[in-house]
Amino acid sequence: MLPEMPIAHAWQPEHLQLAMTAAGVALWAWNVDSDLFTMDERGFELWGMPWRDTVTFEELSAHIHPSDRDRVRSAFAATRAVLGPYETDFRILAGDDVRWISARGQGDDAGIVGRTMFGIFLDVTGRKHAEEGNELLAGEMSHRVKNLLTIATGLTAITSRGTANKEEMASELTERLSALGRAHDLVRPLPSGQGNAALLGDLLTVLLAPYDDMGAFRGRIRVAVERMGVGESAATGLALVIHELATNSMKYGALSVPTGTLDLSSPPDGAELIITWLERGGPRVSPPESGSEGFGSKLVRRTVAGQLGGSIAYDWSEGGLIVTLRISRERLSS
């Protein structure tokens, strides 16, 4: 015995209205001769307007975002020549809200009745925000990749000029890139008011940890700086600077001997962040000869001045090297 075929549902007007309300659909009718719009109650609510029998296109246009107004007018005029269904997305200003509306209908005067065309409005604000978020994320990822490739290219060129052989170049370049990697590992959201990447103390501690492990005993590197956030761009630049200073200290300064110490500190406030790099207990240091500044030192100066918006000063004191880093607080959080 064949199963009984289900009886088609007898759709009543009230059923269609319930379905449209559930889907957030607003109805509109447009008289192509008089330019008058008629909308249902949901339509006026969507546009943030009080209900009335009819509304002119110009009255509706006053609520369309200025950047979309001319495009929407042209799009509606062109729909009469469009074959098949059409969809036009645009922004409207509903009080203090900016909403994305999708207007949909049939082109080429299909279904036109008494010079009146019919269609629907949909609130697609959520979808548009999601699309904008995806585009922003894609753009940000593209920017990060290009930025890292540019840095890696520059580091490769600088390192190749400042090393004697390929083994030394490979080792030094690997250390520089590793420092960048450790800085980027710390990039994450922070609580409100602390920036949008790593905490300054965490960043410095992680960057200097390998140098502490290389010494005769641990704990000879101390970091005591104020609690503040470091942005992604600044973290990259700061990683380069700290790595270069630490590498030089391992070669010639306090970190080159088992009893040497390194202290990083900063005052708690001020118009700019001042970080003091203080080496003690190492061999006697002296400033480089005039005109003999290496590529690493040039890289540090360019990074501090350009990327961090600050300055760097060296004091070749009898007790050990003292470096004073002055950094723009605004740049540091970017």
Query: Could you tell me if 31 and 177 lie in one domain?
Result: no
Please check whether residues 118 and 153 belong to one and the same domain: no
> Is 309 domain-assigned?
yes
Q: What is the model's pLDDT at position 107? A: 72
Find residue 87's DSSP bridge partners. 104
d(CA 272, CA 312): 13
12 assigned to some structural domain: no
Give the 3-state secondary structure of residue 312.
Answer: strand
Range of the domain at 157: 129-332
Other CB atoms within 10 A of residue 14 CB: 8
> Into how many domains does the chain fold?
2
Residue written as token pair 């269904």: 85
Q: Indicate the pTM of the whole model.
A: 0.49
Residues 271 and 138 in one domain: yes
Amino acid sitting at position 21: T
The CATH number linked to 150 is 3.30.565.10
**Considering 96, 123, 150, which residue would you say is the last residue of a domain?**
123
Residues 168 and 75 in one domain: no
pLDDT score of 215: 39
Say which DSSP state 107 is in: S
DSSP 8-class letter at 307: I
Q: Among residues 123, 154, 179, which one ends one of the domains? A: 123
51, part of any domain? yes
| Domain limit, last residue, from 91, 123, 155 | 123
Residues in the chain: 334
pLDDT in tens, the chain (334 residues): 555 656 666 777 777 778 877 788 888 888 878 888 888 888 888 888 888 888 888 888 889 999 888 888 888 777 766 667 888 899 998 878 889 989 888 776 666 777 888 888 998 888 888 888 788 677 656 755 665 666 666 567 656 766 778 887 888 778 767 766 766 565 555 555 555 567 899 889 888 876 765 434 467 889 999 988 888 778 888 888 888 888 788 788 898 887 889 999 998 777 889 999 999 999 988 887 776 667 678 878 888 988 889 999 999 998 999 999 999 988 888 7
Instruction: Say what the pLDDT of residue 113 is.
Output: 77
**pLDDT recorded at residue 203:** 87
Specify the pLDDT at position 185. Answer: 65
Same domain, 140 and 256: yes
